[in-house]
Structure 1
């Protein structure tokens, strides 16, 4: 049994091969996926060649400790916006010296986020060499585990598409 779906495994292989071919690395700043994105990437044999590390940046204290971005610095963003998630991905990437930073943040469910985002909402971000991409995903579901998996697939897909477009 595996926790990685067939689609996630396909995307991981595509991402891994692209990063290894380019001799580039990624840092992952996760929130509502709870570490699933990094766990998926780490299933690839030899993942240390392209993954620098990851963090589940789920609360203000951990974001403050790792990135110097506490509650006060979050307030202007008004919640898990693409701009906030991009900033976290950039900070994490720069902190660990990777070429790519990817991130997500939202509301897996079953309730609204403290900022009013509905369950099933997440913002995705990619920050790489000369490249910035963001997207919003809304599943329309309040099923927490299903949303976490859907958000994981969405971020892996956005990253794979970005790598394809920046070759």
Structure 2
């Protein structure tokens, strides 16, 4: 029995099987999910052939130290922004052996939101080393911390699949 909901477990199983067959490796750069994306993937037997590494960068300093997000980006746009998500995904690829990476940064709640950046706002980026780059701004709403985090995992897994399409 998985610690994740059945739909996430099934998506992770499909990714591990497909990426393993295609010899694709993944890196994750996670803020608001705190490692749940990597956790969902590594829940699956055989994931060591696919998951290279995960960066859990909860603080701005961690984003800078581990992923190379610039202090200028954080000052100008904030941790929860398209710009930060894009720098996170680039940093994860640059600092790993992965062929693709996904990065997430957002406000899971219950606090921390504002009118401009409400609870439930998450920026996700996925990039293939070969070049395909996608960004999504999701506004899941104030649906509860656990649900925002799980919704983010679902979107991130979908984006990995989309990025891996040739």
- The verdict on a shared fold, with TM-score over 0.5 as the criterion, is yes
* Per-residue deviation, residues 87-106 of structure 1 (Å, max 9, x unmatched): 10111111112111101111
Once structures 1 and 2 are overlaid, which stretch shifts more, 79-88 or 89-98?
A: 79-88
Structure with larger RCO (C-alpha < 8 A, sep 6+): 1
Question: TM-score, with normalisation over the residues of structure 2?
Answer: 0.89
Match of 1:4 in 2: 4
Q: 1:140 corresponds to which residue?
A: 141
8 A Cα contact 1:60 1:70, kept in partner: no
Q: Is structure 2 residue 27 aligned with structure 1 residue 27?
A: yes
2:99 aligns to what?
Answer: 99
Stretches of structure 1 lacking an aligned partner (at least 5 in a row): none
| Contact 2:86–2:125 under 8 Å retained in 1 | yes
Q: 2:52 touches 2:98 (CA, 8 Å); kept in 1?
A: yes
- How far the C-alpha of 1:83 sits from its partner, in A, is 2.8
Counterparts of 1:49-60 in structure 2 under 5 Å? 49-60=49-60
TM-score for both structures, normalised by structure 1: 0.88
Stretches of structure 2 that go unaligned for 5 or more consecutive residues are: none
Q: Does the CA contact (< 8 Å) of 2:104 and 2:124 recur in 1?
A: yes
SS of the counterpart of 1:93? helix
**Cα distance between partner residues in 1 of 2:22 and 2:115:** 39
Offset from partner CA, 1:71-128 (integer Å, 9 cap, x none): 3342233442223202101111111121111011110011234794111110111110
2:68–2:87: 8 Å Cα contact kept in structure 1?
no
Per-residue deviation, 1:160: 2.1
RMSD value, Cα? 1.9
Q: Is the 8 A contact 2:133 2:163 kept in 1?
A: no
The answer for the alignment partner of 2:160 in structure 1 is: 159
In the alignment, is the contact (CA less than 8 A) between 2:28 and 2:101 conserved in 1? Answer: yes
Equivalent runs, 1:26-105 vs 2, <5 Å: 26-105=26-105
